[in-house]
Amino acid sequence: MKILALPRDPNPYQRLLYEEIEQMGCEVRYIGDRTPSRTLNLLLLPVQVMAGRIAGARIVHLHWVFCFALPKSDRFPVLRRLAQGWFRIWLASVRLLGMRLAWTAHNVLPHSQVFADDVAARRSLVEHADVVFIHSVSALTELSALGAEPRRSVAIRHPPLGPDGEVPLRVPTSKEGPREFLFFGNVAEYKGVEELLEAYSGLPPQIRARLTIAGQCADPKLRMRLTATRNLRLRLERIPEDEVAALLAGADVVVLPFRRVTTSGSAMLALAHGKPLIVPELPGLSELPTEAVTRYDGSVGGLTAAIVELASADPSRLAAMSAAALDWSGQASWKDVASATLAAMETVVNGRRYTDLRSPLHRVPVRLAPTDKSVRTSLPAGSRDRPSRGRPV
């Protein structure tokens, strides 16, 4: 099978997925990045899909829609309407060219506005998609609430973007000094970093805790507010892949105070490194392992209390959380994900009904709709392949 992928992104999800898919004898070709001009790349998309169809490709795999945003859309709103119109035209062209469309719903809605009406654009996307891959059942619920209910969906747990063994995993609290808390990932407003700073500043003086925030920050105003904060270790840059494992090895607890999220590569990466997590009670994070996670109610006060709880916890508790994180992470592999992804793609390309698409992937009940339009798949606990190191978003 030949697959056209869009867009190409530094997020390691695509690299780790397609490496496994190509090992299975498939060919993956990226589209939408043939020239330095984003506008020209958008205009060429239907041509690239047609060329791919002629070359034997039968399916387009879309991950994110940020590539459809026109330059200077934030200054000229009319460009968002133009982008949305072109997006609908491109979706129609995929179908007219006899191609199938698969969409991986990494986010229910874009984190930053892309179109004039992102909700309407999502409905258009789901309407045209032959299969939608979701990382958790909550994403399907949220899509349905938007009026975007997929005809076919496959739940595939986001596997860990884990370590490669170059840096030994460190059990939390196994060194002297204050307990180390880390936020890691792209630094953006929706990640709740400013709430984390407020919660950290509200810690009682007797609590020995140190906070590090590491990750690229593309928002100059947010960067300015963060750099003005005292008693904080900041590294507002893209962390090289060969430094990620060492950064996580130095942490006792990873804190991810998202305001909203569909799935989190940062959470998966932290768990793969055996790090206890602090996260808010959000549907997109509900399937993380309870034994490795401390949840709070989403308020600043709740976050402060969670930090105090783990900063004061006995080392044996954090060690147990670390073991639970590693055990849960070991239950998914990229080979499993690739197998189920490819099986679903082959099903829609070949026009078969979903009669027995039960590849090993996600520990949720397997349910087939009466018309066989959707499927949930489940992951066996025995799968222990260790994935490669990667970077979250």
Q: Which amino acid is at 115?
A: F
Retrieve residue 29's tokens.
């070709």
The CATH class that applies to domain 2-160+333-376 reads alpha beta
pLDDT on residue 162: 55
C-alpha Rg value of the chain to the nearest Å: 21
CATH code given to domain 179-329: 3.40.50.2000
**DSSP helix/strand/coil, 278:** strand
Q: Which residues contact residue 85 at a Cβ distance below 8 angstroms, ignoring those fewer than 6 apart?
A: none
What is the tens place of the pLDDT at every residue in 75-90?
Answer: 999 999 999 999 999 9
Block residue for tokens 């200077």? 72
Q: pLDDT tens, 123-171?
A: 999 999 999 998 888 888 889 889 998 989 998 877 776 554 444 456 6
CA distance 376 to 131: 12
Which token pair is 199?
A: 């919660």
HSE-CB of 34 using CA atoms within 13 angstroms: 15
> Using one digit for the tens of pLDDT, what is the confidence trace for 273-326?
889 999 999 888 888 889 999 999 999 999 999 999 999 999 999 999 999 998
Q: What share of the chain in percent tops pLDDT 70?
A: 85
> Is the confidence at residue 359, as pLDDT, over 60?
no
Domain boundaries defined on the chain:
2-160+333-376, 179-329
28-42, 197-211, 219-233: least confidently modelled range: 219-233
Phi-psi region of 25 (alpha: psi -120 to 50; beta: other; left: phi over 0): left
- Prediction pTM value: 0.72
Q: State pLDDT tens for residues 112-126.
A: 889 999 999 999 999
User: Which alpha helices (DSSP H) does the chain contain, by range?
Assistant: 12-23, 38-54, 78-96, 118-128, 137-145, 193-201, 220-227, 241-249, 265-272, 300-311, 315-329, 334-349
Residue 174: what pLDDT?
Answer: 55
pLDDT tens-place string over residues 217-233: 888 888 888 887 777 78
Same topology between domain 2-160+333-376 and domain 179-329: yes
Beta bridge partners of 102: 61, 131
